Amino acid sequence: MSTVIVSSSPVVTVRVSSSLNSFTAEKRLDRGLTLAELKCKLELVVGSPASCMDLKLFSVDNNFIQNLDQDDALLGSYPVDDGCRIHVIDKSGAKVGEFEDLSRVEKYEISNDAYEKRSDSVRSFLKRNRLGKFNEEEASQKAAEQQHKLEEERLAAESITAGSRCEVRVAGQPTKRGTVMYVGLTDFKPGHWVGVKYDEPFGKHDGSVEGKRYFECAPKYGAFVKPQYVVVGDFPEEDYGLDDEM
């Protein structure tokens, strides 16, 4: 007669839910844990004290299997498989969602002057190693690149006149025809922009952005694009035959 040996993984992946929280966490647990040790681990997950927990085991299909009520029993002595759910019932009297309300968490604050004097801060580390904004050479190079980009935009914008017919050509997008309605700076983003009224409703607005009106057009016909994507020329409005009689 042959002998059949059944073995299982020493670690099981379960879902953990709680009567205190709306979320479900996924945890890998050692089957060799006692339920008392398991409860201590779950304190950090659900926020309930270990001494105030009742544990219930549910199947992968969320069907109740049994209570986990023997603190000295091993987790592996119960029919816990991957995907099962362990539900924690809190008996401490805490309110539902209490541990999810971040507004109740005491926040540590420090003044800018005090933070500047600390030698163990991120800012101090960046300064010592001349990284990020404390790298003068890199910061200067980025500033020069940004200035060059703005100058290119300005020169491109100067060649575009409001009222001109145009095509908007952006890589990866279909070419769109329209009329230039606005050229210049805006409040919503830095740099030079061209306001275009498309011939078709390919836009995002009616010429107004964040409460400020830059030009007039029908809803969904207006858009702002960078000058380098605008080509001015003799681009008559295309006839899509929408007004033809059937």
Residue 42 contacts residue 16 (beta carbons within 8 Å) = yes
**What CA–CA distance (Å, rounded) separates 69 from 66?**
9
Closest C-alpha among 193, 198, 196, 195 to residue 228: 193
CA angle 18, 19, 21 (to 5 degrees): 65
Q: State the span(s) of the chain assigned CATH 3.10.20.90.
A: 11-92
| 135 has pLDDT over 80 | no
Contacts of 131 by beta carbon, 8 Å cutoff, 6+ apart: 125
Question: At residue 123, does pLDDT exceed 90?
Answer: no
- Taking residues 93-103, report their average pLDDT: 64
**pLDDT of the residue at 97:** 61
CA–CA separation, 82 and 236 (whole Å): 65
What topology is assigned to 158-232 in CATH?
A: SH3 type barrels. (2.30.30)
pLDDT of residue 4: 41
User: What single string gives the DSSP state of each residue in 18-64?
Assistant: ESS-S--EEEEEETT-BHHHHHHHHHHHH---GGGEEEEEE-TTS-E
pLDDT of residue 102: 59
* pTM exceeds 0.85, yes or no: no
When comparing pLDDT for 186 and 147, which is higher?
186
Please determine, for residue 239, whether its predicted confidence score (pLDDT) is greater than 70: no
Q: What is the pLDDT of residues 191-227, one digit of tens each?
A: 899 999 999 999 999 999 999 999 999 999 999 999 9
Q: Is the CATH number 3.40.50.2020 carried by domain 11-92?
A: no
- Out of 33-37, 129-133, 172-176, which region has the weakest mean confidence (pLDDT)? 129-133
Above 60 in pLDDT, residue 52?
yes
What does the mean pLDDT of the chain come to? Answer: 86
E strand map for the chain: 11-18, 25-30, 53-58, 64-68, 85-90, 165-168, 176-185, 192-198, 208-209, 212-213, 222-225, 230-232
- The whole-number pLDDT of residue 164 equals 96
Q: Where in the chain is the domain with CATH 2.30.30.190?
A: 158-232
- CA 7 to chain centroid: 42
Cα–Cα nearest to 78, from 65, 87, 89: 65
Tell me how crowded residue 31 is: count the other CB atoms within 10 A of its CB.
15
Is residue 21 predicted with pLDDT exceeding 50? Answer: yes
Indicate the range of 63-72, 113-122, 136-145, 217-226 predicted with least confidence: 136-145
Tell me which DSSP letter residue 211 carries.
T
Q: Where does the pLDDT of residue 105 fall: very low under 50, low under 70, confident under 90, or very high at 90 and above? A: low
Least trusted range by pLDDT, from 43-52, 81-90, 112-121, 133-142: 133-142
Strand 192-198 with 212-213, pairing: unpaired
Amino acid identity of residue 239, one-letter, is D
Residue 127 pLDDT: 79
What is the per-residue pLDDT for 222?
A: 96
Bigger pLDDT: 20 vs 7: 20
Q: What is the pLDDT of residue 245?
A: 47
What's the Cα-to-Cα distance from 85 to each of 69, 74, 89, rounded to whole Å?
15, 16, 13
pLDDT value at residue 99:
58
**What are 52's two structure tokens?**
């105030």
| Better-predicted residue by pLDDT, 125 or 97 | 125
